[in-house]
A and B are shown apart, each in its own frame.
Chain A
Amino acid sequence: DVVLTQTPVSLLISLGGQASISCRSSQSLVHSNGNTYLHWYLQKPGQSPQLLIYQVSNRFSGIPDRFSGSGSGTDFTLKISRVEPEDLGVYYCLQRTHNPDTFGAGTKLELK
C-alpha cells in the first residue's frame, strides 16, 4: 500500500500566521491517465472530514483562497495563510491514485 508521511505531526500557529504541511508519498501519485489524485481534508473537532483541495491544487467549492496546495510526484504541500480560529483541527492528505486509497496520519493545527 502507498504510505503517506505527513509532517509535522502538530503545528502551533498564531492567528494571522502561516502554516505549511508536507505530505510525502512512498511512490509517485501520477496516475497512468496523467492525473494526480492527491487531496487534502480538514477534520474539525467532533466533525466529519471536509474537502479542502482536490487533485493537488484545486480548491473545493467555498474554500477560501487562504488555502493552497502544490506539489508533484511524491512531494506535496498544503499552505494556510492568515490562519483563523476556524482553521483549527487535523489535516489529512489522501491519495486515490493507487488501490487501496490511503490517508496520511494527520497534522494537528493548534493556536499558539
Chain B
Amino acid sequence: QVKLLQSGAALVKPGASVKMSCKASGYTFTDYWVSWVKQSHGKSLEWIGEIYPNSGATNFNEKFKGKATLTVDKSTSTAYMELSRLTSEDSAIYYCTRWDSWGQGVMVTVSS
C-alpha cells in the first residue's frame, strides 16, 4: 500500500534552515505529485507547494515562495522540503501528501 514516511522532529534556532524528508513506497514515485502542507499548532492546514518527481517541476503557494524549497531524489523515492530563515512563525507540523495518502508529519520547533 501507499506509504509516506517522514523524518523526525526538529528543533532549530531562529535564522537557521531545516530540511525534512518524505520517503515514498508502495507506488511509482515518479507518477504522482507530492505536496507539502503546514499545520500550525491547533490550527488549520495550509498548502505550501508541490513537486512532480518525474521532472522536478514545482508549484508554490505565493506565501511560501522564498521560504520553502522542494526537491526529490528519484533513486530513493524521497521528496525533500527545506525551510529557510526560520522564525517562530515556522514552528508547526509539516506533512507530505499525495492527497489520498499522508505522511505522519514532522514537528518543527524554532527556538533559541
Contact = CB atoms under 8 A, between A and B. Distances in A.
Given A39-B99, A48-B103, A106 B62 contact: no
B59 interface: yes
A9 B42 CA distance: 13
Interface string B25-60: 000000000010000000011110000000000011
B105 A48 contact: yes
Contacts of A103: 44-47
A106 B44 contact: yes
Interface string A33-55: 00000010000000011110010
Interface string B54-70: 00000111110000000
A105 B63 CA distance: 18
Interface residues of A, number: 18
Nearest to B47: A101
Interface centre among B35, B44, B97, B102 (most CB of A within 10 A): B44
B100 A49 contact: no
25 contacts: A48-B102, A48-B103, A48-B104, A48-B105, A49-B45, A49-B95, A49-B97, A50-B102, A51-B99, A54-B100, A92-B45, A96-B99, A99-B59, A100-B47, A100-B60, A100-B61, A100-B62, A101-B35, A101-B47, A103-B44, A103-B45, A103-B46, A104-B44, A105-B44, A106-B44
Contact of B100 (A60, A96, A101, A105): A60
